[in-house]
Amino acid sequence: MGKVLISDEISQTALEVFSNNNINVDYRPGIEHSELMAIISQYEGLAIRSATKVTSDLIEKASSLRVIGRAGIGTDNIDKKIATQKGIIVMNTPFGNAVTTAEHTIAMMMSLVRFIPPADQSTRQGKWEKSKFNGIEVTNKILGLIGCGNIGSIVASRAIGLKMKVIAYDPFLNSKKAEEIGVEKVDLEEILSRSDIISLHTPLTEETKNIISADTINKMKKGVRILNCARGGLVDEHACRAGLENGHIAGAAFDVFSDEPAVNNILFDAPNFIATPHLGASTKEAQENVAIQIAQQMSNYLISGAVINALNYPNLSSEEAPILKPYLNLSYLLGSFLGQVTKEGIKEIKLEMEGKASSINEEPILANVIVGIVEPTSQSVNGVNSREIASSRGINFSTTKHDRRCDYETLLTITLKHELGTRSIAGTLIGGYMPRIVNIQGIPIESDFPKYALYLRNYDKPGFIGDLGSLCSKYGINIATFHLGRREAGGEAIALVEIDGGLPASILSKIRSLEQVVRADLLQFAPLGE
């Protein structure tokens, strides 16, 4: 039927699943990259964990490869852009190791507060240093979660069972879901100032990189303890070491590091620091779960073309794909706009489809709307699992089709309800395939989706465009296109300003300080799959 190579250590149950589906499998864990390059053309499927690096040069040699399956969540070791360009499906198992990772977090916390690793070492050296290892109880302590998605919510439930008070910062956690979980939703500043222990459960993005920095550490309680079983790079390791040395941080326990494998890290000889070698998903149960899941997903695809938990391809039939492709891109881009400008907890997402859009399959369209909205805070979201992720965060979603006539041949309108109000955006397809914005917040405006754009809300008063242009000119920011819309003369107005590159935070702050500006956001857009 098909032929699959497993190039990393994985539970033997995966081999059984492939065999039961009449798929030939070669098990070669630890294979050298050069040898993998030489044989990869023989295989239709490649099953991996984190060790194998699926680089662009490897993909170029993989002339027969149809699917790459990652037994786990993280896919940083796969060049997904090149895989997509080559028509190779990339799958993962986003929920298979959530419990295991959460339990490891709790284990790290208890080890840290009771000095278990150093006490063990000391005792086996023949010492009896009871007074040296005087720890603290976690009962009645405040645990602050930065990120409260699938893993974070499990950590919360375990901590509540330990009689801890749990507070959480997560832009996509709404108050209703927080109440269901049993946590208090707060902002980042409160996490920093109130928490006795801080635990990270967020993906690594441009926004979250070094979210624990020298500045944020200074805002924490003296004697705070920090846990990171999420992603390396969330913590400035040099700043953390300084905090451990000066006593502001009482202890830290990390399972992940900015550079892995971490064989020589600045934190290793820091006081009151515990390290494990990325063991968050390393339990028999988790490895069994992800092995079975990825083997079955890959088998389904190789046998019938079914796509499950793909990171670079929607769940589509062969008949629907050509018709839906431009709509999938449009819906994703519209969602991406809302996801980038919304920092509040989301309650509801509504998709309205008019004109030609009312006759197509709404399920993949809605799925890609959610992908765009959720993507800034979830590295594992895709067109297949987006609704599950939204539901886990307490977000309701719905689709309505209208037979009524509209001003455009086809029209998608998304309304997002959040804790402070609503946001909306509408878009169409020009020529049947080119995505275009036609309305934001009820204000008509026509714009494409530039790679970099300033989204501005401002007062419609003389001098705004001149002031903005002068500021951009002063700092060498080139304006490529300028799209304006307003409700009425002198009232609320919006602008989408295409610029040629990114924008330093310092300049964005200066734009926000202009007299006429109500808000300013730097947005980035890329077509679906890039």
pLDDT tens across 234-267, in order? 999 999 999 999 999 999 999 999 999 999 999 9
At residue 207, does pLDDT exceed 90?
Answer: no
DSSP state, residue 344: S
Alpha carbon distance 148, 170 (integer Å): 6
User: For 3-96+284-304, CATH number?
Assistant: 3.40.50.720
Q: How confident is the model at residue 74, as a pLDDT?
A: 80
pLDDT tens across 54-68, in order? 999 999 999 999 999
Average per-residue pLDDT in the chain? 92
Query: Which amino acid appears at position 86 of this protein?
Result: K
Catalytic annotation, pick one of 231, 393, 423, 457: 231
Helices (H), 143-183: 150-161, 175-181
User: Residue ranges per domain, the chain?
Assistant: 3-96+284-304, 98-275, 314-440, 450-530
Q: How confident is the model at residue 242, as a pLDDT?
A: 98
Q: How confident is the model at residue 448, as a pLDDT?
A: 94
At residue 335, does pLDDT exceed 60?
Answer: yes
CB 456 within 8 Å of CB 495:
yes
Question: Which comes out higher in pLDDT, residue 380 or 419?
Answer: 419
At residue 380, does pLDDT exceed 70?
Answer: no
Cross-sheet strand order for the sheet of 479-486: 479-486, 492-499, 452-459, 517-524
* Second CATH level (architecture) for the domain 314-440: 2-Layer Sandwich (3.30)
Catalytic annotation, pick one of 60, 137, 260, 530: 260
- What 3-state class would DSSP assign to 288? helix
Catalytic annotation, pick one of 278, 387, 393, 418: 278
Question: Which comes out higher in pLDDT, residue 423 or 72?
Answer: 423
Alpha carbon distance 252, 259 (integer Å): 17
Alpha carbon distance 461, 473 (integer Å): 20
Average pLDDT (208-218) is: 96
User: For 98-275, CATH number?
Assistant: 3.40.50.720
DSSP state, residue 516: T
Task: Using alpha carbons, select from 395, 424, 293, 409 the residue that is nearest to residue 354.
Answer: 409
pLDDT tens across 469-518, in order? 999 999 999 999 999 998 888 788 999 999 998 888 899 999 999 988 99
Residue that the structure tokens 């734009």 belong to: 511
pLDDT tens across 270-318, in order? 999 999 999 998 898 998 999 999 999 999 889 877 788 888 776 665 5
Alpha carbon distance 97, 305 (integer Å): 26
Q: Encode 201-245 in three state secondary structure.
A: CCCCCCCCCCCECHHHHHCCCCCEEEEECCCCCCECHHHHHHHHH
Q: Could you confirm whether 512 is annotated as catalytic?
A: no
- Dihedral sign for Cα atoms in the order 128, 130, 135, 136: positive
Average pLDDT (71-83) is: 87
At residue 529, does pLDDT exceed 70?
Answer: no
Name, in order, each residue with C-beta under 8 angstroms of 424's C-beta and a sequence gap of 6 or more: 413, 414, 415, 416, 439, 440, 441, 442
Q: How confident is the model at residue 16, as a pLDDT?
A: 95
Alpha carbon distance 341, 372 (integer Å): 11
Equal fold, 314-440 vs 450-530: no
Alpha carbon distance 202, 207 (integer Å): 10
Q: Could you confirm whether 201 is annotated as catalytic?
A: no
DSSP state, residue 375: G
CB 525 within 8 Å of CB 470:
no
Q: How confident is the model at residue 29, as a pLDDT?
A: 95
Average pLDDT (208-214) is: 96
Q: Could you confirm whether 231 is annotated as catalytic?
A: yes
Task: Using alpha carbons, select from 7, 10, 2, 5 the residue that is nearest to residue 292.
Answer: 10
CB 518 within 8 Å of CB 481:
no
User: Looking at domain 450-530, what is its CATH homologous superfamily?
Assistant: ACT domain (3.30.70.260)
